[in-house]
Amino acid sequence: MRYNKVTPADIDRLKKICGAGRVYTGGKIHEDYSHDELHGLKQYPEVLVEALSTEEVAAVMKYAHEKNIPVTPRGQGTGLVGGAVCTRGGIMLSLAKMNRILELDEANMTLTVEPGVLLMEIIDYVTPRGLLYPPDPGEKSATIGGNISTNAGGMRAVKYGTTRDYVLALEVVLADGTVLEIGSKVVKTSSGYSLRDLIVGSEGTLCVVTKATVKLVPLPERVVSLLIPFPDLQKAIRTVPKLISAKQVPTAVEFLEREVILAAEDFLGKKFPDKSADAYLLISFDGHSKEYVDSMYRQVADLCLEEGADDVLISATPERHEAIWSARGAFLEGIKASTTELDECDVVVPRDRVADFLLFIQKLKEKYGIRMPCFGHAGDGNVHVYALRDDLSDGKWNSVLEAVFGEMYAESRRLGGEVSGEHGIGIAKRSYLLQDLCDGEKTLMRGIKEVFDPKHILNPGKVVP
C-alpha cells in the first residue's frame, strides 16, 4: 500500500476538526507517543490528534480516507506488541480524552463508557456499587478501548472468560468515517453475523471503537487466595489440570517462580509473604457463599498437599491480599528493572500442556545461556515468558532472540497452542501468527480486512498483512 504523507494543509484541516489545541506535530509530540510498552520499536506519528467525540473521530477518519493517510488509534499505549505505534507514520488518533462513564444500567447490569476510560476507573466506579467487571488484566491503567481491541484476558479468565465475553454493544467508526451502532443491551442474540465478536480483538485494524456497553456481574461477597509453595515448578504446574478435572472452579490460578518474586520485591521495595520455595501456585476463589468458597479452597488445599506442595498459606484479609497481589502486579516491572532490555512471549497452550511448555523453556535457557523468567496463568494455559538481554551485544541479542522465539512458537504450535493469549498480535507477533495460520485462514482474515478497510488506512501492517 502507498500512503500520502501528512501535509500542512492536512494539519490545518485536522485543527479545524478538533481545535488547534489538540493537534500536535514535530517536537510537540511527547516521546511516549513514539512507542508502547514494547521497547525496541519506535516511530513517531506525523501528527497526533486527540479526539473528544465520535463526531471528531468520524471527521478525522473521513478526511484520512479521502487523503489516503494511515491512522493508528491509541488508548494509553500500554500494549506489548507495537499495536498502537505509528509504524507507517500518518495520524495517531488518541482516544484517551474520550474518557467519560456514560451510563450504569442496574436493571440490565450494563455499563456504557467511552473508550478512553481506564480499567482502574471502571473498578473504582462499579466496586462500591456491589458490581464486578470480571476481566482483570494486570495493567489497570490500560483503557477499556485498548482492552476491547486486544480481547484482554487477565487473571480471572479461568472462571469468568475474557473481554469478548463482556462486550454487549459497540459504537464504532469505520475507515471511511461511517458511524455504526453494533449490538445492543440484549444478552443473547442470533440476528445475523456477529460483527461485534469480530471487532473485539481486531486491534484497531477494522474500525475505531468510540463507545462500549459492557456486562457486569454481582460482586462476589467472599474472596480467598491461597499461596502454595512447591518444591519445583513442574510439580506446581502439573497439579493444575488435576484441580480442574476434580471439578474445582477457581477464579484465578497463577504460577510464580522465586526469581520473579525477588525481582518484584526489589522493584516495589516490599517483602513478599513467603519465598521459601522455588515455585508457587497462587489460586483465588470467589463466590457469594462463604461456606462454598471455604469448602472449595479447603479441597484445593488438600489436593495440592497430596500432589506435593510444601505448605498452603491462606489469604483472606485485605492486607495479606494486597501484599501478594501487588507483588503479582509488579512482576513485569520487576523483570524489566532487572535487565537492560527484554522481549516477551504471550503464548497460550491447552491447560494440560503448560508443564511441557515450561520444561521446553528450561531447555532453551540452557541451550542459549540467557535468563528467561516466566510467570502467568496456569489455569488458562497463558504463559508469559521473558527473554532478557542483560549484557549481550546488539548482534548476539538479535540472533539469540530470533532463535529463541522461533523455537518457542514452534513448540507452542506443536502443543496445540496459539500465538497470543491476551496481548494481541500487533506488529511484533505477526510473523509468528502467519506461521500458525493456514492459507485458508489468512485469505479469510485478509478478505475481512478488505471489507472493513479497503484502503488499508486503519493501523496498517498490524495483525493481518
Please report, as residue ranges, which positions from 129 to 158 form the binding site for a copy of itself (by CB under 8 A). 130, 150-153, 157-158
With contact defined as beta carbons under 8 Å apart, do 351 and 380 qualify? yes
- DSSP category for residue 348: B
- Spatial distance between the Cα atoms of 17 and 190, rounded to a whole number of angstroms: 38
| Contact flag: residue 61 with a copy of itself (CB under 8 A) | no
Q: Which stretch binds a copy of itself (CB under 8 A): 51-59, 264-272, 367-375, 413-421?
A: 413-421
Question: What is the smallest separation between the CB atom of 151 and a copy of itself, expressed in angstroms?
Answer: 5
Q: Which stretch binds a copy of itself (CB under 8 A): 91-99, 228-236, 364-372, 410-418?
A: 410-418
| Contact flag: residue 19 with a copy of itself (CB under 8 A) | no
Q: Which is nearer to a copy of itself, 46 or 411 (CB)?
A: 411
What's the grid cell of residue 383? 504463559
Question: What is the smallest separation between the CB atom of 455 and a copy of itself, expressed in angstroms?
Answer: 14
Question: What is the smallest separation between the CB atom of 64 and a copy of itself, expressed in angstroms?
Answer: 17
Site residues (CB under 8 A) for a copy of itself, limited to 272-331: 287-289, 291-292, 295-296
Contact pick of 138, 146, 376, 421 for a copy of itself (by CB under 8 A): 421
Strand runs labelled E in 135-261 = 167-173, 179-183, 208-215, 217-218, 222-230, 252-257
Q: Which of 66, 113, 64, 114 is nearest to 86 (CA)?
A: 64
Contact pick of 19, 273, 406, 416 for a copy of itself (by CB under 8 A): 416
Looking only at the bridges linking them, the beta strands covering 91-94 and 71-74 are parallel
Q: Cα-Cα-Cα-Cα dihedral of 430, 114, 93, 76, to 10°? A: -60
| Contact flag: residue 114 with a copy of itself (CB under 8 A) | no
| Contact flag: residue 190 with a copy of itself (CB under 8 A) | yes
Q: Which is nearer to a copy of itself, 258 or 353 (CB)?
A: 353
Helix segments in 151-287, DSSP class H: 157-160, 195-199, 233-245, 258-268
Site residues (CB under 8 A) for a copy of itself, limited to 198-217: 198, 200-202, 206, 217
Q: Who's near 422: CB < 8 A, 6+ residues apart?
A: 137, 150, 151, 152, 153, 154, 157, 162, 346, 348, 382
Contact pick of 62, 164, 275, 298 for a copy of itself (by CB under 8 A): 164
Question: What is the smallest separation between the CB atom of 331 and a copy of itself, expressed in angstroms?
Answer: 18
